[in-house]
Chains A and B, each alone.
Chain A
């Protein structure tokens, strides 16, 4: 589920036209091919072909991002994970298998892994931290911070994995 895309797509270089198409689709992912073509003064078929090429090479995807509140989660946390007696990568893979853990990064610094986690309510959070996260082999200590107000969240650069 969280493994990097198994297929090894051909790496393509994105030119200015590709970047311009991406910029328009970032702003409105449902923008019609025809409207994109008009905006950039190129043929509609060119736009179609470019989008398909970028999607097939795994350079870009157009997706729906769901607000965590709308999905039923009232809490967002950034949790630092300290690991002992086990490779951080292994612990990170186990953390990544948990749905509520939506971002996992092996880091250097005071923590070994940084994760972003969502929870429905306090009881769910308690169960998540003390049992499911804390119970993973190699997890020594979890240091959480609760997001009180998110002013900006535009994860435009992300690792693709098989959805």
Chain B
């Protein structure tokens, strides 16, 4: 279980979640703490994998881009972890999770259209050892994604 952030951590993160290129000095001035404190807190949160500071790009820039939800059922339950590990290696997948309910694994990727999705699933997912079947849904309108929130792994 990840350690929860305290009040000062949250105040720093709130500032960084809007624009993480802001300097430690500027954050320190706003919060009335020393620059060293800000630097140490940011470093600690990154090391503890409580936050990740990263560049995100705007999906609206891509023409013909849709999110695809791929629900995967495995042959035998004991194969779930191994299949999920293999899926996590696929660069194109932005999310891989072992699930309870609906299917065994959920994988999310960005595709151009339904044909692209079908080809991707056929070539990259179905042939994996232990995959029994898949069911996909294609996004037609990406309404919201709060990129400030994620499960930070490895």
Using a CB–CB cutoff of 8 Å, the interface residues on chain A facing chain B are 2, 4, 11, 22, 25-30, 51, 55, 58-72, 74, 76, 78, 80, 89, 92-93, 95-96, 101-111, 114, 118, 143-161, 163
Q: Are A63 and B142 in contact (CB under 8 A)?
A: no
Q: Are A144 and B101 in contact (CB under 8 A)?
A: yes
Q: Are B106 and A147 in contact (CB under 8 A)?
A: yes
B142 → A minimal CB distance (Å) = 5
Q: Are A51 and B143 in contact (CB under 8 A)?
A: no
Q: Does B135 contact A (CB under 8 A)?
A: yes
A65 CB contacts on chain B under 8 angstroms: 17, 51-54, 147-150, 152
B144 → A minimal CB distance (Å) = 4
Using a CB–CB cutoff of 8 Å, the interface residues on chain B facing chain A are 1-5, 13, 16-21, 42, 45, 48-62, 65, 67, 69, 81, 84-85, 87-88, 93-103, 106, 110, 135-153
8 Å CB contact of B53 from A62, A68, A152, A156: A62
Alpha-carbon distance A105/B140, docked complex (angstroms): 7
B50, B54, B65 — most chain A CB neighbours (10 Å): B54
Q: Are A109 and B147 in contact (CB under 8 A)?
A: no
A69 CB contacts on chain B under 8 angstroms: 1-2, 4, 151
Alpha-carbon distance A109/B134, docked complex (angstroms): 13
Chain B residue nearest in CB terms to A106: B141
B136 CB contacts on chain A under 8 angstroms: 109
A111 CB contacts on chain B under 8 angstroms: 137
B101, B135, B147 — most chain A CB neighbours (10 Å): B147
B16 CB contacts on chain A under 8 angstroms: 63-64
Q: Give 9 closest A-B pairs by Cβ, nearest first.
A: A29-B53, A109-B137, A69-B2, A64-B16, A70-B50, A25-B55, A145-B102, A96-B144, A106-B141
